[in-house]
A and B are shown apart, each in its own frame.
Chain A
C-alpha cells in the first residue's frame, strides 16, 4: 500500500515555524473551486449580474468626484478627478476585500471547518483570488478611461513600468491577507473585534491617499502618519504607473515591503496555531 505517503501524526504540540505552504499547494484545486464558487454565486438571481462590478466603481467615482472633488475641492495633481478616484477606489476595494474577507474566515466557514479537515489557509487564498478577479474586472473600466484620457492628452501614464502592476497587486494582497488573518485569529475568541474591524477599515481608507494625493497634505503629524501607513506608498506608486502622477519615496516603499513580509509571517503562524483548536472556542 501507499501508506507512508499519507502518514500523518497529530499531537497537541504545534511546530511554531511550520508555514504549511506545501500542504496548501496540494489543495490548489480546492482553492480554484472555492474561488469559482464565491465568484459565481454572488450574482446568481440578480438581473444585472456581474455588471454590478462595473456599476459599483463608476457610481463611487461619480460620488467622490462630486463630494471630494467639487464640494471639498480637493486637488488631484492635475489628473482628471474621475479617473483619479476610479483607479484609487479599484485598488482600495481590492485591498479592503482581501483584508475584511480574510478577517471573517473563521466566522464564514465555521460550518465547513467543523466538519472536515483541509488546510484552513486554502480559504484565505481563495479569498485573495476572488478579490483579485473583482479587481481585474474593475480594471477594464479603469483602462477604458485611461486610454481615453491619454488620447486626449490629459494624462501621461508610465507605460514602461506597467510590468510592475501584478507585483503591486500581489504585494497588497499579501498585506491584506496578513492583517486579515491576524484579526480572524483573534475574532475566534473576541467577537467584538470583527465589529470594530469594519469600522477600522473605513477609517483606514481615509488614512490612505485614495480621495486625495499625498502631495495635497501639509507637512505635519498627519502627513507623517499617512506616509507611515503601509498602503500609502503602494497606492502612490500604483497611480504613478497608471496615471503618471504620485510622490514616491523609497524609504516608505521599503517600510511597506517590510511590513507586508512581517504581517504575513505573523499572520500565517498565528493562523496555523489557532486553526487547530479554534472550534473549541468559537
Chain B
C-alpha cells in the first residue's frame, strides 16, 4: 500500500514512547512482614553502598525490575487488521493489556480514537449459574454495550453462536466449545471502533475458527473497524491481517508486510540453524570406516527452518574424501523430535571420487508427505561393500525443521501419525 494513502487515513490508535516495567521477585505476593523486611534490607544496602550486580539480560534492570516493553512507537490506522507475533515473553500480551486499559503504562502515552473491545479471553464475566441469554447482556455490558444495542443484536448474536437451543440454560451446563462460541459472538457484535484479540481463536473447533476469522475480516473490510490480533498460528495471521508487527525482547523489530514478518519471526529462532558445520563435530564411536567425512550441510534458498506442507527442502552437502570412493550413496532420515523414525529418502550411487577431493551435491527433499510437526534429520553417507551389504561411511545429526499447520485441517499426529498419505479417490465403475 502506498505511503501517501496510509497517511490520509484517520488514526485509530497511537502509542508514543510507551514503556512498561514490572517489578521482579517476591514483591507481587508479599505480605506486610516481607515488605517491611525488604525495605529494611534496601536501606541497609544503601547505607553500605552496595552495588547490585548487573544482570545478564538487558531487560532486567539493576533495580530488579523487568522491562516488558521498551519504547514502543506505533500508529495504527482505521480499518487496518494488524497481526502481532513474537515468542513467549516478547511483550505481546503486555502490549494488548496496555491498549485495552487493563493496566497502565510506566511511561509514554497511548491515544485511542474510539472505543476498544478487548477479547483477551472469551466470555469474560460469564457467570456459570446464569443462562446464556442473561450472560449475553452481562458480558455485553462489561464490554461497554448499552442494553438497546444488545437488544438490537441479540438475534444476530444467538444465530452466530450456534447455541440457540441452549440459550435459556445456565452456562454451567454448556460444553467448553459452546461457552467459547457464545463468548466470541457477543464480542464480535460490539459496535466498538477498535477490537483486540489475544489468541481467542485458539479454542473452538476448526469450523468455528474459520467462521470467526471470516467475521473479523468482514468487520474490518466492510465496516472499516480496526483489529489487533495476537496469535502463534501464522495461518490465521495470514488470513486476517494486512499488516504485521514482530515483537522481540520488548521492542518492535519489524512492522510491515505479513509474509516478511513471519519470515523474520521464524528467523529469530536462534536454535534452528540453516547452515551446519561438521568439521569440529565428534562422530559416533561405531563409525570405524573413515572413507569420507561431512564438512557441512545447508538448507539452500531459505533463512529459516520453517516450511509449509508441500514445500520442498533444498539441501546442499559438502564432504571430504579420506580415501578413494566408488558409488557413494546418501540417505536423509526424518525423525520426530522424540527420535522416532518417520521415513527416509535415498539418493543411490551418485558419486565417485579420489582421496583428498571434496564432493558436493544439492538434493531436493519433498516434504508433502509430512504432517505439520517439528522434525529432525539425520544425514548418512553409505556404500555397498564387497558382499553387497550397505555400510555407513559417515553419519551426522542434521537440521531441525518445522512444518507449519496449514489451517485447513487440524492434523493431530497422536492419532493420525506423521505421514500424510495421498488423498482418497472415489472409485467409479468402468463403463
CA distance A41 to B103 in the complex (A): 29
Q: Which of B78, B105, B137 contacts A1 (CB 8 A)?
A: B78
CB distance from A164 to the nearest CB of B (A): 33
Once the chains bind, are B130 and A6 in contact (CB under 8 Å)? no
Chain A residues with Cβ below 8 Å from B129 are: 41, 44-45
Known A8-B112, A118-B142; judge A189-B124 contact (CB<8 A).
no
Known: A3-B113, A112-B125. A190 touches B30 (CB 8 A): yes
Q: A7-B111, A282-B28 are in contact. Are A113 and B141 (CB under 8 A)?
A: no
Q: A29 near B114 (CB under 8 angstroms)?
A: no
Interchain CB contact (< 8 A) of A116 among B31, B110, B120, B130: B120
Report the separation of the CA atoms of residues A45 and B129 in the bound assembly, to the nearest whole angstrom. Answer: 9
Asked if B102 lies at the interface with its beta carbon under 8 angstroms from chain A, I say yes
CB distance from B114 to the nearest CB of A (A): 5
Partner of A113 from B27, B102, B110 at Cβ < 8 Å: B102
Give the residues in chain A near B27, CB-CB below 8 Å.
281
Interface size range of chain B in the complex: 35 or more
* A6:B115 contact, CB within 8 angstroms: yes
Number of CB contacts from chain A to chain B under 8 A: 120
Bound CA–CA A269/B193 (angstroms) = 30
Contact A11 to B109, CB < 8 A, known contacts A112-B142, A117-B100:
yes
Say whether B239 faces chain A, with CB atoms less than 8 Å apart: no
A116-B100, A280-B23 are known contacts. Are A10 and B109 too (CB-CB below 8 A)?
yes
Bound-state CA distance A40–B138 (Å) is 13
Q: Which residues of B contact A1 (CB under 8 A)?
A: 10, 78, 114, 193
Contacts A12-B105, A30-B141, A41-B129 given; does A281 touch B114 at CB 8 Å:
no
* Chain A, interface SS category: mixed
B407 interface residue per 8 A CB criterion: no
**Shortest Cβ distance from residue A127 to the other chain B in the assembled complex, whole angstroms:** 15
How many residues of chain A are within 8 Å of chain B by beta carbon?
40
| A30 CB contact (under 8 Å) in B100, B124, B142 | B142
| CA distance in complex: A193, B32 (Å) | 9
Q: Does B121 belong to the interface (CB within 8 Å)?
A: yes
The reply on A218 being an interface residue by CB < 8 A is no
- Among B143-151, B309-317, B347-355, B391-399, the stretch that binds chain A is B143-151
- The answer to the question of A144 belonging to the interface, with a C-beta cut-off of 8 Å to chain B, is no
Q: Contact check, B125 vs A116: say whether CB atoms are below 8 A apart.
A: yes
CA distance A44 to B32 in the complex (A): 38
**Which residues from chain A contact B60 at a C-beta distance below 8 Å?**
none
Which single residue of chain B is at the shortest CB-CB distance from A31? B141
Q: A10-B110, A276-B104, A281-B23 are in contact. List 9 more A-B contacts (CB 8 A).
A: A30-B142, A37-B134, A37-B138, A44-B170, A112-B125, A116-B142, A117-B116, A189-B30, A190-B32
Chain B residues close to A by CB (< 8 Å): 10, 22-23, 27-33, 35, 78, 97-98, 100-116, 118, 120-121, 124-125, 127, 129-130, 134, 137-138, 141-144, 146-147, 170, 193
